Every structure is written in structure tokens, then in C-alpha cells.
Structure 1
Amino acid sequence: IGIIGKNGTGKSSFLNIITEKNPLDAGTVSIGETIKFGYYTQSGIVVKEGQKVIEVIKEFGEYIPLNKGQKISASQLLERFLFDKKKQYDFVEKLSGGEQKRLYLCAVLIQNPNFLILDEPTNDLDVVTLNVLENFLLDYPGNLLVVSHDRYFMDKIVDALFVFRGEGVVETFPGNYSDFRAYEDSTPKEKIEKIVVEKTATEPTKSSLSFQEKREFGALEAEIERLQSRKTSIENMFLNVEIAPEDIQKKSEELQEIITSLEEKEERWLELSMKLEE
């Protein structure tokens, strides 16, 4: 399940509530006895001074099972996330910011959760790591709940969405992010199934779009498609090793600019699409 919604609608709070990190104002959270959460947040990982990469991972587990009875060891997991044998014995304080994010991901995954929660996992990860993560999640046998603005990432790994509208209103949608966008464009809004998490004294005020906002909405559609196409093109260059070594830094910077622009435009698109609801 993917979680989408503009900033301030309660996405991270929802994750903290179901993992019992935040107290409830009302209601209950029922967690099955066999549920084991793995929770990747933006706060990162705290390690002891002088720890090596492999030592951090082995504190949390020795191996994890995959689909079809397969399993991988802590060392193999690190290799899968681009820590070679030599790198596994580096001190954590020597790692770059992106490498520390990768290590944190591995620390969450090696705990063998059957309910994995990822809060903006694509932030600060390079293209190669993102592809490794996507492939890992496609093999992951448990439940996945993910918050992300990365439409491409969401399209590959989620089967359904929770759409946070604000004011405690959450809508369920049986499809990925692209399906949702197409549905929003073509389906009367009153037919979308709603789950009211917490009723408020007054319903949130809905308003139609102004002429300028309608023009902006249409322009955003085209620009998002263009940026997504360019993003996919550059990612394929990396995957197929079609970039000359001297151009890697330039292409990486271009890709990051595209990702940042996509996040901003998709956030604005979602804001305007919510405003269309009557």
C-alpha cells in the first residue's frame, strides 16, 4: 500500500501511530501477535563509535528469508546494497551520507520484518541504490506500507493507495499512483470510497479551480509526463552502463534536479486535484 497526500495531512503521524511511537487521541490500534514491524524513517540510524558496517548489521540479524524458500545472509544483503566485502569492514563514520542511508535500509531489512514501513525511502538515494531497493521489494514476501512522492517508485511496488485528504479523511484506491491520476481525471469524485479516520466538527471546505489554476493543472500534467520520461531515460542509461565515466557526475546532478522538480510538481498537482473535489 502506498500513502500519498500533500504535506501536513498526517502521513507520517499515521505511521507513528500504528507503530505506537505516537499516542492516540482517540480510538484503538490493534496489532496482530505475529506482526513484526520494520520501520524506515528519515531520522537515520544511531551507531556506536568505532563500529564497522558488518558489525552494525549483525547486531540486528544474521540472515533474512526471501520468496520460494530462499534466504540471504547479512553479508549478502550488504553486497546486494552495494557494500562489497572490503567496504563491509569500513568504519561507519567514514561512510558518505548516501552510504549511511543504504546501511540504515539494510539494518531495517535484516531484522526480517513481516510488515515493512518506509517513510520517504527514495530521498537521498542514488539511482543504482533505488533500483536495488525496488528489486528487493518485488521479492519481499511481507506487507509493505510506503510514503513517497516518487511516482515511478510507487508504480513499481504498490498495489493500492491510501489517499490522505486532510482533516482526518483518508480514501482508499485499488491501484498505483499512475492509475490514481488517471482515475482522478476521468471519474466523478463522489464515487471514490472514503474512510473517515476521525470525524471533524465541520467538513473541510472544497472549492473549484479558478481559470488560472485550471491552466496550471493542465500544464502540470504535461510537464510531469516530460520530466518522468527524461528521468526514466537517464535511469536506463545508468542501468545499461551507457554513460561515459566523465559524464556520470553531470548526469547524476541532472537526475537529482529532475527528481526534485517532479516531487514539487506532483505535490502541486495533487493539491489542485484535491481542490477539484466537490
Structure 2
Amino acid sequence: MKMKNLTVLLLLGLFFNGICQIDQSSGDIIKLELSSAPFPHSARTNGHTYSDKFYPADKHYSDSTVMVFIPNSFTESEKTDFVIYFHGWYNNIDTACSKFKILEQFSGSNKNAILIFPEGPKNAPDSFGGKLEDENGFKKMMKDILAEIIKLKKISSDKIGNIILSGHSGAYRVISFILMRGGLTANIKEVFLFDALYAELEKYAHWFTNYNGKLINIFTDNGGTKEDSYSLMDDLKGWQIPFLLKEEDEISGSELKENKLIFIHSKLGHNDVLTNNENLKRFLSASCLK
């Protein structure tokens, strides 16, 4: 994994109870193997076929890794805030961290929160969220994560504060199911979609209208999300729900902070909306997190 501005200093590798802990110069990366992780899942026991190509379960749907990143600046409080990130198609935790500078952007936001990155369909063209699509699946995973990092003495409280869900491209599906029936919907205050609004619009609309959620949806011309983005905006107009539509190079930090439903049109490519302008960092900086 290559990371600019994040010096990777391997100090200690410990394997116990399925946990690999690696200390880094800007924070701790803890890799957990959890039974509540998205995969394996019974719906992918026999693998998955897409465009006549078969993706076997052992290579693409058997990794139960959940990465936890705790920045050195993190200070424990009564409740712990979390940012959850999900990768898109043909990616995995390591490739996404390297390609999209996930850890660097999270650290750069200087927010007092812990980053969680579950492994999704690994290097596969698939948006399925595995066990995180199941009833209370997200709640179960978060409970297990808390138990493990408490064991490691990283925190002492199992109380969850605010949660932000974020993801690129195919991550739209798992996020939508977490909003609908993940079990912690009341804690989810914000959602960041990086060229990812392909479907499940009704799940997002139900969340932000019933839970007063904040949605930032950045979309491109050729990423396949433009039509659904404008469709949702048309619905909002019909429902007389205010929203903000801005060009990426025109939106200000105060606008990101003050508005609840934000649609951002980007002239960048599908894989550039996360990194070129450090939008994950920008959105986090304007978020409700302290």
C-alpha cells in the first residue's frame, strides 16, 4: 500500500484472536477478522457471475477483514464518533486506500473520530453488501468492532456517537441498506456519495426526510450517476424540500457546512472525484464531527 504524506512505519505486528494490529506514524491501523463482517455471505457461497465472467467465492467473497484506523490525534469521549468508508467495484481495502488516499484525507480532516473500512466484494464488479444488507447487520458489526478495540484498550466506552457513511461508486447499495435496516439509523447523521447514486433512491429519501440526515452527492457526466442525481433533485422540487446544486469548483466550505442536501456536479472523471480535490477531507471538515 503506497501512501503519500503518510509515512508507513511498521513498528509492531501482533496476531491474536484473528486480529492483526499495525502501528503507524500517524495512527493505528487494526485489521480485524469478524464473523459479522460483510463476507462471507450465503448469497455468494457459489460466487457471482457478471457479464459472462465468473467470480469465485474463495477469491472474491471470503475476506472477513474490517480495517480500523485510529489517528494519533484521537481523544476518547463518552461516545465515539465513526466514519465508515466502502469501496466500489474492482477494489479492495488496500487498493482503495492507496488509490484514493483514504487514510490521508481522513487524518487531514482533523476530526475526532475513528475510521472503519469493511472489505466488500473483493476485486469484483459487484455492489452487494453481504451481511450489512441483513436486518441489524451493521449494528452487529459495530458491536463487534467496539468489543475488539476495547479489548485492545484503544477506547473504554461502547457507546456510539455520530456516524458518517461514505463510499465511492458501487458503495451506494450497501450504504442504502444500512440506512434502511442496519439498526443504527438514528446515529447516522451524514452520507457522502462519491459518484455513487446509481439506484436505491427511495432508501436515501426515506432516511433524510425521516431522520433529518445530511446528504452530499457528488456526480460526474460520465460516471453513470447524473440521471439519478437529477431525478432525485426533481423529486425534491416536487416535495418542496430545499437542496443546493453547485459546481465542484464553486462550492464553498460554508455552503458544505450549512446545507443539508447538497448535489455537486464535477467535471472530473469517475475515479477522480475522491482524490483530485481531496473531497473526502473537504466534506469531513464541514461535517458535524468535532
TM over 0.5: no
Which of the two has higher C-alpha Rg? 1
Higher strand share: 2
Instruction: Give the TM-score of the pair, scaled to structure 2.
Output: 0.30
Instruction: Give the TM-score of the pair, scaled to structure 1.
Output: 0.31
Structure ranking higher on relative contact order (CA contacts 8 Å, 6+ apart) = 1
